[in-house]
Amino acid sequence: MPQPSSFFIFSAVSCVLASLAFSGCGKTEPTQSALNVPPPPGAGTPSAPALPAAGANAPASVASVASSQTDPSTWVTSGPDDPATPARCGGFSFVKPAQWAWATPSMRFRQLQYSVPGTDGGGAAELIFSVFKQGDGGPVDMNIQRWVGQFRPTDGTDARVDQRTATIAGNKVTILELEGSYAGMGAAAPRPGWAQFGAIIEAPGRNVYIRLLGPSQTVLENASVFEEMVTTMKAD
């Protein structure tokens, strides 16, 4: 019997290999489970509802935060040509005696200043307003300690310190009475016989610092007037 030629054998093998290759091309891998496929970035994560903007259509609780009380651009500061009373500063209005005359602020951080005349030869005192947006000016406790530290003993007698708090017009107010030898910032030496009545108003968005500072006689004579001015303050 004649033997198959090498060409015939080669052709048969090639056909078999081609057939296997063709069948393999049509085979597909099983699809991965969707649980094992990471979702695209951000998919499936619910977004937080946006807070409504403060405005005419905003809820009252949101709109109140953006009220004029917390907007420094609406705060009025009394000037030399304004009526002698009230004093307006930091979003508040304070009724004061007309004879407490407006004065040019003499130091940095004094937003409003008045001269308080003395009686019976007593020297004039100063009524000083300073306003700091919340977070500026340092913590309230730190400023209280700074005020206390400015009054030193006189002739061996400790300075008088009286501190109390109250809620006025919905705001926490610290009232501080100090008396002794005053050594203010930059003073060459303590000045004996001085006093200060101070009030710190912790209001939304800012702290308002008010001081009646000067010779003890003048400050003490006007202490009740100063306290009434603070306790009857109104939102401006």
Q: Which residues does 185 contact at the CB level (< 8 Å), separation at least 6?
A: 150
CA distances from 67 to 74, 130, 135, 182, 223 (A): 10, 21, 19, 40, 33
Token digits of residue 203: 């209001």
The domain over range 77-235 is classified in CATH as 3.40.1000.10: yes
Q: What is the DSSP letter of 127?
A: E
Domains in the chain: boundaries = 77-235
In 3-state terms the chain splits into helix, strand, coil percentages (rounded to 5) of 25, 30, 45
CB 159 within 8 A of CB 179: yes
Evaluate whether 165 touches 174 at the Cβ level (below 8 Å): yes
Per-residue pLDDT of the chain (236 residues; tens, 9 = 90+): 445 444 433 444 343 333 433 344 444 333 333 333 344 444 444 443 343 443 444 444 434 434 557 888 899 999 999 999 999 999 999 999 999 999 999 998 999 999 999 988 889 999 999 999 977 888 999 999 999 999 999 999 999 999 999 999 999 999 999 999 999 887 789 999 999 999 999 999 999 999 999 999 999 999 999 999 999 999 98
